[in-house]
Amino acid sequence: MTGRDRMVLIGVIVVVVLVAAWMTVVSPERQQASKLSAEVAAAQATLSSAQGKLASARTAQSQYASAYAALVGLGKAVPPKAEVPALIDQLAQASSAKSVDFSSITAGGSGSSSSAATASSSAAGISDQPFTFVFEGSFFDLEHLLQRLTDFATLTPAGDLQVSGRLLTIQSVKLSPTSSSSAQGAGAASNLTGTIAATAYVLPAAQGLTATSTASATGAATPASSTGATTSSPTAPAVVTVDP
């Protein structure tokens, strides 16, 4: 065998060894590396998704208190039940703050409710609850009280809902001299009787905002008897008279 043949043979042997090493070591390692790269990419995608969910959860957690307060406020403005005792308590407090005597509350309206408001509430599944309130006081005190009633639930220019009582829609206001003013003559003519026809709203029982929102929002409302009121039914009285 010549030297040239030996060189060719050695070259062939080296090539065979390299091919065998490639097939047995390098190629499987490359395949394993490719598989691991795919697994790393999948793990990174999962991690990114988890981090996104964590950020969303932390944002929701930071907004929980304000969101729950807003939910309770909505439950106070439009409760899932009539909550007449709580409404009486709110009216009594508002009239006392405005130096007005809260005389009576009558369930049912005068038939002059706004058809647009009624259609809107009916479309939303909300029940109308008409009332007639009677107050006694001076003209300006009654005016301030009326403003207080309409401010129980208001929407700010920024779009935020401010709730301090039931949502009420005022249909009509009638002012007349009180009977005591007529008896006492012109000296007491400044006293007026204000008859306000208004509508409150009630959510369907199955759509209550929270299980305890109404109770917590009304602050354990005082029963009608504690404000001097008497009624035959705590949920839908025909007439409730409030002693000043």
* Residues 77, 112 contacting (CB under 8 angstroms): no
- Beta-strand ranges (E) seen in 89-190 are 101-107, 127-138, 153-155, 161-163, 169-177
Burial category of 14 from C-beta neighbours within 10 Å (exposed 0-12, middle 13-18, buried 19 and up): exposed
Q: How far is CA 79 from CA 129, 167, 197, 202, in A?
A: 11, 9, 20, 5
CA distance linking residue 137 with residue 95, whole number of Å: 9
Q: Is 200 helix (H, G, I), strand (E, B) or coil?
A: strand
Say how many C-beta atoms besides its own lie within 10 A of residue 228's C-beta.
13
Residue 134 φ then ψ, to 5°? -125, 125
Residue 195 φ then ψ, to 5°? -105, 115
pLDDT tens-place string over residues 116-146: 455 555 545 788 889 999 999 999 999 899 8
pLDDT tens-place string over residues 141-159: 998 998 888 888 887 888 7
Amino acid, single-letter form, for residue 191: N
In the block, tokens 């299980």 appear at: 211
- Give the CB-side neighbour count of residue 59, counting CA atoms within 13 A: 6
Q: Is 229 helix (H, G, I), strand (E, B) or coil?
A: strand
pTM: 0.53
Domains and their CATH numbers in the chain: 78-242 (3.30.70.60)
- pLDDT in single tens digits along all 244 residues of the chain: 677 777 777 777 877 777 777 777 777 777 778 888 888 999 999 999 999 999 999 998 888 888 888 788 888 888 888 888 888 898 899 888 888 999 888 887 554 444 545 555 554 578 888 999 999 999 999 989 988 888 888 878 887 778 888 888 899 999 998 876 554 554 455 789 999 999 998 887 666 554 444 444 444 333 333 333 333 333 444 444 444 4
Closest CA to 121 of 206, 197, 203: 203
CA distance linking residue 32 with residue 179, whole number of Å: 98
